[in-house]
Amino acid sequence: MDKIKVRDKEFKKAIPCEDIQQAIKKVAEKINRDFEGKETPLFLSILNGAFMFTADVFKELTISSEVSFVKFSSYRGTATSGKVKELIGLNEDLTGRHVIIMEDIVDTGLTINNVVRQIKTYNPKDVKIATMLFKPDACVEEVSLDYVGMEIPNEFIVGYGLDYDGLGRNYKDIYKVVS
């Protein structure tokens, strides 16, 4: 599909699934290199958006790995609220562990920086960030991203786990808003 409608908005295809899968392989290859021969990292996937990204990266990993899911949110509709809430907490002991946060998209940097601050209070050995998408033009805080699938313009998008008011996550391609 080249165009979709989600609620009251029209979207057109911006990133085809083939490009997404190439970005996934690039991220997984770098993680495999970085963690070869090291202690098993714990991947913390941020729900709901990063579930597809996490699953696809996991399919490409050749290293020993463990995954868990946490839920943080700062979005309402098509804009960030600027306030990050912890919705579902951690159950794992992170003390002395390599932690890789799996995020669907980093735009302002507010959410990911808040997540990193919270994760660091659990005394991990180190914290790395993997994101499928990064919007450098939207970033208002300095962020340290270790694995980036692709950089994109500052446009509102849906698909591949990303939503508009809870809808649109199921598309295998990524679509940008047109109206």
Task: Tell me how many degrees the CA angle 159-64-72 measures, rounded to the nearest 5.
Answer: 40
The string over 93-104, giving b where at least 16 C-beta atoms fall within 10 Å of a residue's C-beta and e elsewhere, is ebeebbbbbbbb
Q: In angstroms, how far is CA 60 from the centroid of its own chain? A: 16
8 A C-beta contact, residue 38 and residue 98: yes
Distances (CA, A) of 44 to 66, 94, 116: 9, 10, 11
Contacts of 160 (CB under 8 A, 6+ apart): 15, 17, 20, 52, 53, 104, 132, 169, 171, 172, 173, 174
**Active site residue: 107, 126, 137, 146, which one?**
107
Q: In angstroms, how far is CA 21 from the centroid of its own chain? A: 14
Q: What DSSP state is assigned to residue 19?
A: H
Known catalytic residue at 146 = no
Looking at the annotation, which residues are catalytic? 107
